């Protein structure tokens, strides 16, 4: 199964082209799910798990992998389904989100597919606010759900969004109070995390659900006057349906009315290519999710 990720080193060629590669997997039943390969370190046959007292109900146990102890989360349980059975025949996807490494228990892993972000669509409006989809797409005539992993992780181990008192106090000196920023992220949980952190330093947030939505909002604002008189900066996730953060940044830099905007890319993606891509598309800064003080300080400095 390790061979399924042999192509990861070539995937950096996709970045900046509004493309991604999805690793397809199944939980319980026929439904397919997807995860961005850039998030995945490796895929393994499920090892023996150690069950420990007072683990979260969605955590089936911990595994010792390459000198590291990793929590293994049953993705079926975490999304409201039945527990995955017969662990000896299952797999775990080792992934890195928000500066930590987790194992996701899945029943089977299928293959990697190359997609265009334009083919990745927001969840249907009728799906309700309690679903775990961050996006959907179609593969072989069937719907593939891309899970909101940040929402799942936040329910198991909530992210601290508290900004330290020192940073809050310094907001007066930075004159950030009352300033407006645009936040683009396809995860509703991630948008709220950023909004809470920035509200603490007096910054107001306009929220966009993806890169295309953010660009539309910016162009609408531009019709009312100079963009820098309306918002101070843009904070954008990288992975988003229809238009990713790299493409959004490039569109901003290529538009004469938007090119002077300060852009911070704020993402759970990790990898050595990130800093090079930040420079290539013209972003001003790159911050890995999620550290409220680090984000708040970067916003204060930019404003």
Cα 259 to Cα 252: distance, rounded to the nearest angstrom? 5
What is the average per-residue pLDDT within 126-151? Answer: 84
Q: Which residue in 209, 102, 196 sits closest to 153, CA to CA?
A: 102
pLDDT (tens digit per residue) in 53-96? 888 999 999 999 888 899 999 999 999 999 999 998 999 999 88
Neighbours of 82 (CB within 10 A): 11
CATH 2.40.50.180 location in the chain: 2-156
pLDDT in tens, 237-250: 988 888 889 889 99
Q: Tell me the percentage of the chain whose pLDDT exceeds 70.
A: 89
pLDDT, tens digit, for every residue of 5-39? 444 334 444 545 677 788 999 999 899 999 888 77
The string of pLDDT tens digits covering residues 161-185 is 889 989 888 877 777 788 999 999 9
Q: What is the DSSP string of 58-83?
A: TEEEEEEETTEEEEEEEHHHHTTSPP
pLDDT of residue 271: 52
Is the predicted pLDDT of residue 220 greater than 90, yes or no? yes
Q: Which residue has the tokens 């397919």?
A: 32
Task: For residue range 207-217, list pLDDT tens digits in order.
Answer: 999 999 999 99
165-302 belongs to which homologous superfamily? Response regulator (3.40.50.2300)
pLDDT at 200 over 60: yes
Confidence of residue 100 (pLDDT cuts 50, 70, 90): confident
Q: Is the pLDDT of residue 146 over 80?
A: yes
Is 50 exceeded by the pLDDT of residue 115?
yes
- pLDDT at site 283: 92
Predicted model pTM:
0.80
Residue intervals of the chain classified under CATH 3.40.50.2300 are: 165-302
Assigned fold of 2-156:
OB fold (Dihydrolipoamide Acetyltransferase, E2P) (2.40.50)
């Amino acid at each position: 199964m390790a061979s399924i990720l042999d192509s990861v080193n070539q995937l950096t060629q996709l970045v900046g082209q509004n493309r991604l590669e999805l690793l397809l997997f199944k939980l319980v039943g026929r439904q397919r799910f997807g995860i961005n390969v850039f998030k995945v370190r490796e895929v393994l046959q499920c090892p023996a798990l150690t069950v420990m007292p007072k683990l979260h109900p969605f955590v089936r146990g911990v595994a010792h992998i390459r000198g590291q102890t990793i929590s293994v989360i049953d993705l079926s349980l975490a999304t409201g389904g039945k527990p995955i059975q017969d662990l000896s025949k299952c797999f775990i996807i080792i992934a890195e989100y928000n500066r930590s490494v987790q194992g996701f228990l899945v029943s089977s892993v299928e293959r990697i597919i190359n997609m265009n972000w334009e083919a990745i669509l927001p969840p249907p409006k009728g799906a309700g606010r309690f679903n775990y989809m961050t996006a959907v797409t179609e593969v072989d005539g069937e719907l593939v759900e891309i899970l909101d992993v940040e929402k799942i992780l936040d329910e198991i181990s909530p992210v601290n969004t508290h900004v330290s008192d020192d940073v809050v106090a310094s907001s007066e000196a930075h004159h950030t109070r009352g300033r407006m920023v645009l936040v683009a992220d396809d995860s509703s949980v991630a948008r709220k995390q950023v909004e809470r952190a920035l509200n603490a330093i007096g910054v107001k947030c306009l929220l966009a659900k993806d890169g295309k939505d953010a660009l539309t909002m910016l162009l609408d604002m531009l019709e009312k006057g100079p963009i820098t008189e309306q918002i101070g900066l843009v904070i954008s996730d990288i992975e988003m349906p229809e238009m990713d953060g790299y493409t959004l940044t490039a569109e901003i830099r290529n538009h004469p009315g938007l090119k002077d905007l300060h852009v911070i890319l704020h993402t759970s993606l990790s990898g050595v290519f990130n800093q090079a891509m930040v420079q290539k598309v013209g972003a001003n800064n790159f911050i890995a999710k999620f550290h409220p003080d680090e984000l708040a300080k970067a916003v204060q400095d930019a404003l």
